[in-house]
Amino acid sequence: MAEIAQSTKFWRRYQKGLDYIDTKNLVNRTNMCWNFFLGKQWEGLETDGEYPPFLNFIHPNVMRKVTTIYTNRMAVNYTDMEGRTDLQPVYERLSQMFSAKWEKSNEDTLCRMTVKHGNITGDGIQYFPTGDVEDVQILNNTDVLYGDESEPNVQRQPYIIIQERRSVAEVKEMARQNGIPEEEIALITPDRDTEYVLGNTDEVENADSSDSMKVTLITHFEKKREKLTEAVFDEDEDGNRVGTLVEVGERDVVWVAKCTKNAMVMEEQPIKGTPSEIDINNGRQGRALSLYPLVKFSWEEAPNDARGVSQVECLIPNQILINKTLARRSMVTENTAYPRMAYDETMISNPDDLMKVGMPIAVTSGGAQSVNQAVSYLNPASHSPEPKQLTDDLLEITQELSGSGDTTMGNIDLQRVAASAIVAVNDKAESMHDETVANLELFTEDLANLWVELWQVYQPNGMVVVVKKTVEEPVIDPLTELPKIDPMTGQPQTQTKEVEEPIEITAEQLDQIKPVTRIDVSKDNSYTREAQQQVIDSLLEKGLITLEEWTELATDTSPVPKHGLEVIFERRKAQEAEQMAQQAQMMQDPSMMQGQPPMPPQM
């Protein structure tokens, strides 16, 4: 990278971070991991238009592991740090808000992508640049530079730098909104520093305007200690309320700055929210962000290292050897596995026609014996089975050691193996991932803590979130527009319906809460659902439950047509109730029987 034109503290730190990842060759290693995962396994090889074969076992290995980890569903529940039971309804609403925002921000998909990044590169990072938790970015591991590369805990970092490529026009507008003078904004010029960009480094350039080109923008976060003050009120001699500011402690505050190589885009400032009315009335400072606005998931940690361990990188040597062995086998097969023609060019007058179907061959010397001497075939050479055995052994052993054998990859016949047995085998195979599941649990907990703080800082006057809720409502008869009555119970028939309901947390409640996050983990995959279905099938076969109870126990995701069976049962109940009502009415009113013809005499 070119020499620094302006020696700012932020750019000097940025340059030191780049020097560190250069010494670790992090960009090239990360690119190689992505290439092998995506199937670009001969990247950079000059093959003259040939496409060498390869067996990409890394991709299914990664996807299986990610699926295995992400079948552990995480549910967030907030409780009070001090055990105040009167605030429990508030924490219940807070948990509902988290679930609603999780769904609205599509965090299920984003979290799965974060776990995949963690498996491929070692780290998956989510970044929240604004106070809106729905505004989230997934960062590459090379986009984040740490002040202490030996500290794995993000929140203990002295500072963090995020680099990104943005258009010059966008960066200039950002600088204007932050009050940067125009003479300094003019120093924001495009560059071609893309050596630290992963994957595709090509950028669209518009010759008509340099502002459409891109420039490297860095965002610098740093935690600083700040004195915390609060007003103590008293009355003077005239009975007037007088407040005195007193120091009540200290707190960490995150400061942020943005700059390019030549100009500041945002002067360093603390990330603070507008003081709420409660803060103003009590003479307190407004809330400030004490957590860095990014959350990191590491698949596996390394000692004394801020960056996680890639699961793909350790598989690349075996993948390369398998590909090379396969390419050699392919070349040998092409050269020696088929009969090859040999001919005496001095005896053949038209050698170009030898490979043409049905063409005559002109032999310069006569006699059938001369023809046999002129043209002959070489028999195929025998091949050693060792190369194939090496490939098969490498593939099988690598998959088994990495937890991607036939059972864990799902290459089994469910009709021949009980689902409960598969669940037991999977649980044993997944035990090697217990630490990774714990890391995902910690990631979810860090995310939940950050979201609460973002709400407290950016929405100090309270917040309202619309959540989905399942309610029961009466079934209305379209003819009478009245609720339908169940003939069996005489009660109105009801049905479940999903509705949207706004829930609110007031400014006072946001000010009072001191949440502790609890993560509840549960498994949900096809094998566990199949095992559950087999259990209720067994209960039905043994006569321990009825068909109606069996239908009620079946889950919505089971292959059982649950809704259709429920409709049939309801129809049967209605028919039986109608018949019973008619019989009862006939017993009470014998005159209804008078119109019937007399019974024939008994013989």
426/448: higher pLDDT: 448
Is the residue at 162 inside a domain?
Answer: yes
The span from the CA of 265 to the CA of 272, in Å, is: 18
**For residue 13, is pLDDT > 80?**
yes
514 domain-assigned = no
Q: Is residue 273 part of a domain?
A: yes
Model pLDDT, residue 2:
41
Write down which residue in 291, 322, 349 finishes a domain.
291
Which range in 179-188, 357-366, 492-501, 546-555 is most confidently predicted, on average pLDDT? Answer: 179-188
Residue 3 in this model has a pLDDT that exceeds 60: no
Name the helix (H) or strand (E) containing 111: helix 107-121
pLDDT value of residue 468: 76
570 lies in which domain range? Answer: 545-588
CB 128 within 8 Å of CB 293: yes
Whole-number percent of the chain with pLDDT over 70? 80
Mean pLDDT, the chain, rounded, equals 81
Task: Judge whether 554 lies within some domain.
Answer: yes
Largest CA distance in the chain: 139
Considering its fold, how many domains does the chain have in total?
A: 2
In-domain check, residue 15: yes
Q: Residue 246: name the closest of 278, 283, 214 by CA.
A: 283
Q: Is residue 333 part of a domain?
A: no
Please report where in the chains the tokens 């990191």 appear, as a residue: 296
Q: Residue 473: helix, strand or coil by DSSP?
A: strand
Q: Is residue 574 part of a domain?
A: yes
Where in 273-389 does DSSP place strands (E)?
294-298, 340-343, 375-378
Q: Which of 245-249, 455-459, 589-593 has the highest mean pLDDT?
A: 455-459
pTM of the model: 0.77
Final residue in a domain of this structure, among 276, 291, 306: 291
Last residue of some domain: 256, 274, 291?
291
**How much of the chain is in helix, strand and coil states, percent to nearest 5?**
40, 20, 35
The answer to whether position 81 is within a domain reads no
pLDDT tens profile 118-130: 999 999 999 999 9
pLDDT in tens, 344-380: 777 777 888 777 887 887 777 666 556 777 788 777 7
